Amino acid sequence: MTGENPEYAEAIVVRDGRILFVGDSSEAMEIAGNGHQMIDLNGKTLMPSFIDPHSHFINSLGMSTQANCSPSPVGEADNVAGVVKALQNLQSEKNIPDGKLIMGYGYDDTVMPEGKLLNRDDLDEAFPNNPVMVMHVSLHGAVLNSKALEQFGFSEKTETPPGGIIVRKPGTNKPYGLIMETAFLPIFSQLPKPTEEELLQQIKDGQMIYAAAGVTTAQDGAAHLGDIQIVQKGADNKSLFIDVVSYPFITEFDTIFKLYSADDFGKYNNRFKLGGIKITIDGSPQGRTALFTTPYLTGGPSGEENWLGESTFSQDEVNQMLKNVYDKGLQSTFHANGDGAIDMCIKAHEFASNGNPTKERRTTIIHSQFVRPDQLDKYVEYNMIPSLYTEHTFFFADAHIKNRGLEQASFISPMKTAISKGLKPTNHTDFNVAPIDQMMVVWTAVNRVSRNGEVIGADERISPYQALKAITINAAYQYFEEAKKGTLENGKLADLVILDNNPLKVDPMKIKEIKVLETIKEGETIYKKN
């Protein structure tokens, strides 16, 4: 992964967690010396392990205690009945008693047949004695039943906050279940906390989800203070066996800097690093909460006409937030999906950069899905990084075509255009919006095929090698870690993955069938497929 074109080596020598040599087998034997352990790949493929450019590591910790309410192929919840069944199965398997919160993840309203969406009444009927919360696939909200709405303080008297969505039951002011964006944020701090023993096991289980996918560096994007303290606890007791990079959410800014200083950012301590600050500008295009400069073809989530979406904060607020980040010399990652939100990011950067917008800060625009070509030019000028999301061409293409039209939907996550302009785009899963499956990430970037088998934006397809760079060396660059990760070179960390096939040589449509056989972190195996 060292150049613009694929290069291969016969052997690699690893010692004390680092790469000592990459090259000819005979020379490798001499450098390794007497007593080395020889591992023959027998035709398998070894490459740098994968670096996750954006996900929500903290969400992995609770997945074993939540119901998979995702539609196929991720789950089996293809309709409301399927969501309810997944929750009922969890309740039975975990023997969840009356009164205890039941949680699910992955609910995708865009694929529900005949427009029949999950609501409070569906969950009340199936779970009369338990609060229930089903996370929306965007991770920007959830559907709650009456007991959960009451538990978290929602009623017909609850006003919708700026930048928030509270869907009301038709003809009433009563919340109908779906709570999104800023209206949903207060729920996080009220979620039940695991015991110390449960927490340690969850930290291990969460890391194994990443390790099984060949990932040795994970992100916790938009982390709240409680999330940071959980991962910090794992670091303090040396329970982390992958690297975790946390980006505290901007609303935690003042609180974070009562506990940490700017000097604490940008360096690992027992595999945990504070990377910078996350600022969320808008919501999700599939949830119709992303901010655009032109209206949605389908209106707003509550039936609003001429709906552009909404920003989480005002332009003045975002300007000052980013200035606070830059004034401390820290990296910022934005969440921005719609072109209107991306305009806000660029304006904030111009305001906050103290007359030096071209300084290399590696400000990252997470998602950048509906970025315009002129905005990509600004990324180039201002040394910004787009972290794109090509999995939407598979999972949500139909929703985007319906909401935004075929032309705009065909330009989502424009990897090829970004690369042609000289940018170093990364490509992410936003886990647990989509599973941590790096071969699926590569497959979507190379093929851009929707659930229905249609090619979405053929002009933006890239080569498998370019797709791999987006989750290796480009991702290392995004984290300021290109000197020690992302390629197989002397002196770099021995973070490696072994695959059962070569993504550069198989039929492009079969890339997603490639399996991770082994994941190695600094020379030590942390995952091996049975």
Judge whether 337 lies within some domain.
Answer: yes
Per-residue pLDDT of the chain (530 residues; tens, 9 = 90+): 999 999 999 999 999 999 999 999 999 999 999 999 999 999 999 999 999 999 999 989 888 789 999 998 889 999 999 999 999 999 999 999 999 999 999 999 988 998 899 999 999 999 999 999 999 988 889 999 999 999 999 999 999 999 899 999 999 999 999 999 999 989 977 887 788 888 889 999 999 999 999 999 999 999 999 899 999 999 999 999 999 999 999 999 999 999 999 999 999 999 999 999 999 999 999 989 999 999 999 999 888 999 999 999 999 999 999 999 999 999 999 999 999 999 999 999 999 999 999 999 999 999 999 999 999 999 999 999 999 999 999 999 999 999 999 999 999 999 999 999 999 999 999 998 889 999 999 999 999 999 999 999 999 999 999 999 999 999 999 999 999 999 999 999 999 999 999 999 999 999 999 999 999 999 999 999 98
Buried b (16+ CB within 10 A) or exposed e, 486-511: bbbeeebbbbbbbbebbbbeeebeeb
376 φ, ψ (degrees, to nearest 5) = -60, -35
Range of the domain at 280: 276-388
| pLDDT at position 74 | 87
Judge whether 156 lies within some domain.
Answer: no
Q: Do 447 and 455 meet the contact criterion of CB atoms below 8 Å apart?
A: yes
| Structure tokens given for 255 | 């609180």
Q: Do 361 and 306 meet the contact criterion of CB atoms below 8 Å apart?
A: no
Number of domain units in the chain? 1
Judge whether 472 lies within some domain.
Answer: no
Interatomic CA distance for residues 251 and 33, integer angstroms: 54
Judge whether 290 lies within some domain.
Answer: yes
Cβ neighbors of 176 (< 8 A, separation 6 or more) are: 119, 120, 167, 168, 169, 170
| Closest to 242 in 3D by CA, of 523, 530, 528, 526 | 526
Interatomic CA distance for residues 224 and 252, integer angstroms: 7
Q: Helices (DSSP H) in 103-168: which residue ranges?
A: 120-126, 146-151
Judge whether 338 lies within some domain.
Answer: yes
CATH number, domain with residue 332:
3.20.20.140
| Structure tokens given for 308 | 């552009």
Question: Which amino acid belongs to residue 135?
Answer: M
Q: Do 184 and 140 meet the contact criterion of CB atoms below 8 Å apart?
A: yes
| pLDDT at position 229 | 93
> Which single residue is written with the structure tokens 């940018």?
423
What radius of gyration do the chain's Cα atoms show? 23
| Closest to 63 in 3D by CA, of 108, 107, 103, 99 | 103
Judge whether 340 lies within some domain.
Answer: yes
CA atoms within 13 A on the CB side of 475: 31
Cβ neighbors of 19 (< 8 A, separation 6 or more) are: 12, 13, 488, 489, 490, 491, 492, 493, 494
pTM for the model: 0.88
Q: Do 391 and 450 meet the contact criterion of CB atoms below 8 Å apart?
A: no
Judge whether 454 lies within some domain.
Answer: no
Judge whether 499 lies within some domain.
Answer: no
Interatomic CA distance for residues 414 and 426, integer angstroms: 11
